Amino acid sequence: MASSSTFPSPSAASKIAVGPAHSFVIGEGGQRIFGFGKNQNNVFLDEDALLKTSITELERLRPFEQGNAQPGDRIYQIASGSNHAVAIIKSKPDALGGRVLAWGLGLRGRLSHRDPASG
């Protein structure tokens, strides 16, 4: 579940991603993701809310994928589609590669999950 949270400060934001009716912000050195706007297809991982009118932390992504974070992992990039989002997670900023975390509506394999309807 997401919780209301005051974003630490504008200078703490490192990246943003904007969908047609929602936005994401990476904060606190890549350790947290915040979102606001329309929660279409559960893009904020919070089935209880259809609209986030204030910035809210996506707690289910802290730590990433409920404990799969490696020491030093940070979110370095984030992108958003209409009904889904993807993020690149790395341990070092100059490291090649990284891991991809995807969430939201996963129909037709767009999130690369085994279950094409998963999200």
Would you say residue 116 lies in a domain?
no
Residue 79: per-residue pLDDT: 92
Q: Please check the confidence at residue 1 and state whether its pLDDT lies above 50.
A: no
In a domain, 99, yes or no: yes
Instruction: Work out the number of other CB atoms within 10 angstroms of the CB of residue 25.
Output: 21
Has residue 114 been placed in a domain?
Answer: no
Could you tell me if residue 79 is inside a domain?
yes
Per-residue pLDDT tens over the stretch 49-102: 666 667 777 776 665 655 566 777 888 899 998 888 888 888 777 777 788 888
pLDDT of the residue at 57: 79
Q: Is the pTM of this model over 0.75?
A: no
Can you give the residue range of the structural domain that contains 68? 3-109
In total, how many domains does the chain have? Answer: 1
Annotate 89-103 with b (16+ C-beta within 10 A) or e (fewer). bbeeeeeeebeebbb
How many of the other CB atoms lie within 10 Å of CB of 107? 14
Q: Is the pLDDT of residue 119 over 50?
A: no
| Higher-scoring residue by pLDDT: 59, 22 | 22
Q: pLDDT of 24-33, one tens digit each?
A: 888 888 888 8
* DSSP 8-state secondary structure symbol assigned to residue 49: -
Q: What HEC string does 1-61 produce? A: CCEECCCCCHHHEEEEEECCCEEEEEEHHHCEEEEEEECHHHCCCCCCCCEEEEEEECHHH
